[in-house]
Amino acid sequence: MKRTKQGFTLIELVVVIVILGVLAVVALPKFINLKDSANTSALQGVSAAVHDAVELAHSKALVLGKQDEPYYSVEQAGSIQFGYPSVNKQGLVEFMTLDEGYHDLSKQWVWAAFNQGSVANPDYWIVTRSSNLQGYTGSDFNGEIAATQCYVKYTTAMQVGDGYSIEIVSDGC
């Protein structure tokens, strides 16, 4: 009576490992791209929320006839400069509903502002996911958020007749 050996040969094992390796190399980029796409989509959502908030604030300024004022506070809303939300703590964020915080990493979104600008170097508000700054303990939130290359930036009007801009930077997402 002849006994046959059972199990895999070395060649069969190597072939299976090679096939699994090829599948992993092909599938991994798709999963990585899904994460990038999700982060970019989240930024687009924040950008849309910023746009809606800016348009709401601008509408209020027009209704009140305050679109040419260098600074005006709308009751129960926020502050406006030249018809658009200012970038201080009483400005743009007061027109939005977003789980955000000024330099507050415990919120879903963290933001910082540059609000000592001029016409040549305008004021801006910059926001990113708090998870992008985990472990950060410094004080230059503007620089740190910009370094993530994964943020939304709102630039406000600095003089009568100026508009605003919203920029999405997603290279680092």
Residue 36 has pLDDT above 80, yes or no: no
Looking at the structure of the chain, the number of domains it has is: 1
Which of residues 159 and 76 earns the better pLDDT score? 159
- Beta pairing, strands 100-102 & 109-114: parallel
At residue 3, the pLDDT reads: 66
- Asked if residue 133 is part of any domain, the answer here is yes
- Asked if residue 46 is part of any domain, the answer here is yes
Q: Give dist(CA 95, CA 162) in Å, integer.
A: 20
Share of the chain above pLDDT 70, in %: 95
- Asked if residue 5 is part of any domain, the answer here is no
- Asked if residue 8 is part of any domain, the answer here is no
- Asked if residue 128 is part of any domain, the answer here is yes
pLDDT tens digits, residue range 51-98? Answer: 999 999 999 999 999 999 999 888 777 899 999 999 888 888 888 878
Which of 61-78 are b and which e, b meaning 16 or more Cβ less than 10 Å from the residue's Cβ? beeeebbeeeebebeebb
- Asked if residue 2 is part of any domain, the answer here is no
- Asked if residue 75 is part of any domain, the answer here is yes
Mean pLDDT across 17-46:
83
Residue 145 has pLDDT above 70, yes or no: yes
- Asked if residue 155 is part of any domain, the answer here is yes
Provide the H-helix boundaries in the chain.
10-64, 141-148
Mean pLDDT across 17-27:
86
Residue 117 has pLDDT above 80, yes or no: no
Task: State the pTM of this model.
Answer: 0.77
Residue 87 domain boundaries: 13-169
